[in-house]
Amino acid sequence: MKIRINQLRQKLDDWQLAPEELAARALHVKREDVVSARLARRSVDARDKGDVHFTLTLDVETARPVRLPRNAVEVRGENTSSVTAAPCHLPLKGKAFDALRAVQGNDAEQSGQGRFPAPESVARETDARKAAASGSGVGESGQGRFPALESVARETDKRKAAASGGGVGESGQGRFPALESVARGTDTRKAAASGGGPRPLVVGMGPAGLFAALTLARAGLKPVVVERGKCVEEREKDVAAFWNGGPFNPRSNVQFGEGGAGTFSDGKLNSGIKDLRCRAVLEEMARAGAPESILWQAKPHVGTDHLKTMVRNLRQEIIALGGDVRYETTLTGLDILDGRVAGVRLTGPEGEYRMDATDVILAVGHSARDTFEMVRDAGATLSRKPFAIGARIEHRQKMIDRAQYGAAAEHPALGAADYKLAVHLPGGRSVYTFCMCPGGQVVAAASEDGGVVVNGMSLYARDGENANSALLVNVLPEDFGGDDPLAGVAFQRRWERAAFEAGGGDWRAPAQKVGDFLAKRPSEGPGSVRPSYRPGVKWGSLDGCLPGFVTESLREALPLLDKKLHGFSHPDAVLTGVETRSSSPVRIERDALCQSNLRGLYPCGEGAGYAGGIMSAAVDGMRCAEAVLSSDLRGKS
């Protein structure tokens, strides 16, 4: 009998009990009656500080029928996906199926083509997972393993919602076209792989670019992947040297290089988007070396340390499947013929060269300002979009733990506490925390000479002395004036350069204690909170580093946020400036097929304005790759 137990309360002191023991207790059966039990989700319930506990979802199989408690349901038929792996049926519809049928014949549906292959259960894939963690990523044959697309697709209600919500088929998003049939041997795929047309080009190796390239590679299209920065191993050395007072490298830093800006972050994988691909991304990351806990954590994260391993393994699989990865190579031009991309100009270590390309997934990050200018000049339609700027705020992590967990803060079952705060001010501005990093550090995240930018990161253990978060104020297009679509970039740059000057012009960041900031007096040194930013800070005032509406909004918001989280406006908390890269200030417009007005150009991910974090960027990368595959089947549009 297969059962899902929801809203199961677990005491903190029981945190080391095996899922089978927890299931036996919940079902009031003997331990030997439980064949298997798997943790599907775990969250911390700290609403009552005197009763902090875990809330679990368990997927259970018993040897015999049992009487179910009120919080348990029997899982039957298609819904067994929550307990075991089974074939995943997502039949093609609309234009995507019509195109596939034209290539494969009218028996495509009956023959089983046009469905996603069944995902292997990650929990049962020990050998494959070990291979991925060691770098092979593709098992013995080097090919043939597909993303988990999707056990959740068997959840009938979600599948119906996705089918009515679009995708790269009829309405534009949310539904996968089942194009993995291409990866199982269509003539279109074979022709492309054998040189029958230009290989697809993926620009950028952040989450969007990596998952776009992986999707294309598994479909047999052998993408060319270019990254202006270095591989993650070399990039890590450049970043560490800079943080320790060494030279700044404008091509290899926190913003640029394999893995994207998210490589030096907390590695959060939760997202506000509701997309079937999210589960596939988590399973792929687990296979590539991320901790399996990301599959059941309510707020999954991998940390900078695991992100580096995961990125390397994803890259190795792309290469094993025939992908061509080129580092220190920048997209510097587009050749447009009759409104369509016909080729690209790339600049690498050997100089500038041209390459034929008719499908270009532009998965650059939000700091690729020169690329924004280039695509605008090539004729792509860009628009301004809102973003936010502010500073990083640091507290002692133990203070945050006590504020969130009360007396339970020291319990070994609980890790470092996080928070997420927001307030809407009477004048219309919003102030909110973003990318909170428990037990982390504030990092130097510049991508241009003469501009200081800060960000935050944590290792997986989250065991640092301080907690930090961005504290941001929303910025609207009217705040930076004019009608240039890149006016937001100029706005960001202005305040980054002001911060560079305020920090002394040597990459130190300006810092101010919250008590001094609220009193409008410069700080002369730290209190109980020691700033973690390297290469170091220069104490003073943030007023010259941020717009007046931002500093005044922060002063108005801090006491209000303290009412939501006691101690948030502690006088010794440290503000370090400036945080300007929370999201892209520009959107490269695209249609329902993910193409810009320059046909064959697929703006993708966070830099293009379609994502806001690791998970949503990875999902958008998959979506754009599916659009390329769909376009391949339909014929170029």
Give domain limits for the chain: 2-82, 94-380+598-634, 383-579
Angle at 166 between CA 163 and CA 170, to 5 degrees: 110
- Segments in the chain below pLDDT 50: 78-194
Sequence-ordered list of residues with C-beta below 8 angstroms from that of 339, at least 6 positions apart, any chain:
597, 598, 599
Residue 633: its pLDDT value, please? 66
Neighbouring C-alpha atoms within 13 Å toward the C-beta of 98? 7
Q: SS3 of 45, please?
A: strand
Q: What is the CA radius of gyration of the chain?
A: 25
Residue 637: its pLDDT value, please? 57
Q: SS3 of 441, please?
A: strand
Residue 146: its pLDDT value, please? 32
Spatial distance between the Cα atoms of 607 and 203, rounded to a whole number of angstroms: 11
Residue 110: its pLDDT value, please? 29
Residue 491: its pLDDT value, please? 97
Contact 119, 88 (CB under 8 A): yes
Contact 260, 204 (CB under 8 A): yes
Look up residue 369 and give its two tokens.
């300002």
Helices (H), 220-290: 232-243, 277-287
Tell the residue number behind the tokens 């390309």, with chain if given. Answer: 357
Contact 546, 509 (CB under 8 A): no
Spatial distance between the Cα atoms of 443 and 365, rounded to a whole number of angstroms: 18
Considering the four listed CATH numbers 3.30.360.10, 3.50.50.60, 3.40.50.720, 3.90.1170.50, the one that applies to the domain covering 94-380+598-634 is 3.50.50.60
Chain CA centroid to CA 566, Å? 30
Spatial distance between the Cα atoms of 344 and 214, rounded to a whole number of angstroms: 21
Residue 631: its pLDDT value, please? 84
Q: Beta-strand (E) ranges in 543-609?
A: 574-579, 586-588, 601-603
Helices (H), 527-613: 548-564
Helices (H), 520-607: 548-564
For the chain, give me the number of helices (H) and strands (E)? 17, 22
Q: How far is the CA of 512 from the CAs of 435, 502, 565, 598, in angstroms? A: 20, 12, 20, 47
Neighbouring C-alpha atoms within 13 Å toward the C-beta of 27? 33
Q: SS3 of 514, please?
A: helix
- Residue-wise over 556-569: b if at least 16 C-beta within 10 A, else e? bbbebbbeebeebb
Q: Tell me the CATH number for domain 2-82.
A: 3.30.70.2700
Residue 141: its pLDDT value, please? 31
Q: How far apart are the first and last CA of the chain?
A: 50
Q: Is the dihedral of CA 29, 34, 40, 46 positive or negative?
A: positive
**Residue 443's closest CA among 282, 239, 283, 594?**
239
